[in-house]
Amino acid sequence: MKKYLILGTSLCMIMMFGSCKSSESAYKKAYEKAKQEELAQPQVSEPVEVAPVVTNPVVSTNTQQTTETGPIREEKVTMVSGNGLKAYSVVCGSFGVQANAESLKAWLEKENYPNAVIVKNEATNMYRVIVDSFDDKMAAAQARDAFKAKYPNRSDFQGAWLLYRIY
């Protein structure tokens, strides 16, 4: 009797598992069908007119160059790599990974920025790459503007900003 019970239970289990089909195949078939229909439809795009760009030379009537300091971020930072950090610093990069910050610092040193340092903001867990550091806010702002002007094609450097170190 036990043999028949075990044999019957085994056959029921085999039929139960054998009759189940995965729903994944139905989803896959529907996806492939939609993809084929999408590819079969002709792609119609409207013609785009390109207007020529006319540039005018920039003429400066102001001979005295004024530098606005702009917004200054105040952060408590700790030194990670490099020497000497003053009150105002020009930050050219912020990274969540220290290796990326070290890579940018090495590149800056090759570009004749020997005072480049890396600091870490513990509150945000971000590594800041600093080009140079100054005691004077105006000197830092001028250095930031000069740095941006030196690399006009680097959009990441155009976002350089000033950092005021909080102790």
Give me the pLDDT at residue 62, please.
Answer: 38
In a domain, 105, yes or no: yes
Give me the pLDDT at residue 12, please.
Answer: 74
Give me the pLDDT at residue 34, please.
Answer: 76
In a domain, 12, yes or no: no
CB 83 within 8 A of CB 119: no
**How large a percentage of the chain has pLDDT more than 70?**
75
How deeply is 82 buried, as exposed, middle or buried, from its count of CB atoms within 10 A (0-12, 13-18, 19+)?
middle
In a domain, 16, yes or no: no
CA angle 68, 159, 111 (to 5 degrees): 100
Give me the pLDDT at residue 68, please.
Answer: 64
In a domain, 131, yes or no: yes
Instruction: Residue 104: give the domain boundaries.
Output: 72-165
Interatomic CA distance for residues 37 and 32, integer angstroms: 9
Q: Which residues sit opposite 79 in a β-bridge?
A: 119
In Å, how far from its chain's centre is CA 75? 20
Give me the pLDDT at residue 14, please.
Answer: 77
Has residue 144 got a pLDDT over 90?
A: yes
Give me the pLDDT at residue 70, please.
Answer: 75
In a domain, 54, yes or no: no
Give me the pLDDT at residue 65, please.
Answer: 38
Mean pLDDT of 24-29: 70
In a domain, 63, yes or no: no
Residue 41's pLDDT band, with cuts at 50, 70 and 90, is low
- How many folded domains does the chain comprise? 1
Mapping DSSP onto H, E and C, the string for the chain reads: CHHHHHHHHHHHHHHHHHHCCCCHHHHHHHHHHHHHHHHHCCCCCCCCCCCCCCCCCCCCCCCCCCCCCCCEEEECEEEEECCCCCCEEEEEEEECCHHHHHHHHHHHHHCCCCCCEEEEECCCCEEEEEEEEECCHHHHHHHHHHHHHHCCCCCCHHHCEEEEECC
In a domain, 38, yes or no: no
Look up the CATH number of the domain holding residue 114: 3.30.70.1070
Has residue 77 got a pLDDT over 70?
A: yes
